[in-house]
Amino acid sequence: MASVLGKIQALEQEKRDLHTQLMSQESKLQKLTESKRAEMQQMLEGTIGRFIQDLQTKDEKTKTDLKAGLERLASRGDESGVWEVMACASAAHAERVNELERLRNEVNSFKEKEKALQGGVFGTEESRFGNDYGNKRKADEISSATTDNGVPNIFDEFTKTMMEKGGIAARFTE
């Protein structure tokens, strides 16, 4: 009889130990679930919320039903397939919005640069031919030397220019 009572006492002690372990595991699980719920709620209010808001539907009730369903998933901490799909879709949407904004800024930057070039340094004829950027000749200052068939003779023009500047041809005449 004493051995049976000892066995029952050991089993009761093992039951208490297992119950303590179970309670410890449940509290850890509860803490993990709480953090998961908080993370899911934050995602629902942030990325997924903006995605749902930007969705174009015929009926606003559809959006509210979708959001209510996702809130139920977040309150339970249930990362089901539906939650995963919505998280991925909203992340892709946010990425596309950011990319669109980046491209919009880049286009605006290019437009500003184009405006600077259109009305900037080369905006007027005087700025193109002024001394600030060298002595570029105007078309009427270039000689009208042509070949026999009326085509401009650029080689004669080049020789003339070089001779005026004391070019290489002056060395050959010495």
What is the number of other CB atoms lying within 10 angstroms of the CB of residue 47?
19
pLDDT in tens, 17-56: 999 999 988 888 777 778 788 888 888 888 888 888 888 8
Domain with 6 in it: 2-56+67-111
Q: How many domains does the chain have?
A: 1
Of 36-45, 121-130, 138-147, 160-169, the range with the highest mean pLDDT is: 36-45
In a domain, 143, yes or no: no
DSSP string, 96-119: HHHHHHHHHHHHHHHHHHHHHHHH
In a domain, 142, yes or no: no
In a domain, 8, yes or no: yes
Let me know: does 70 contact 86? Beta carbons within 8 Å: yes
In a domain, 26, yes or no: yes
pLDDT in tens, 70-84: 888 888 877 888 888
Let me know: does 86 contact 51? Beta carbons within 8 Å: yes
In a domain, 166, yes or no: no
| Distance from C-alpha of 135 to C-alpha of 62, rounded to nearest angstrom | 71
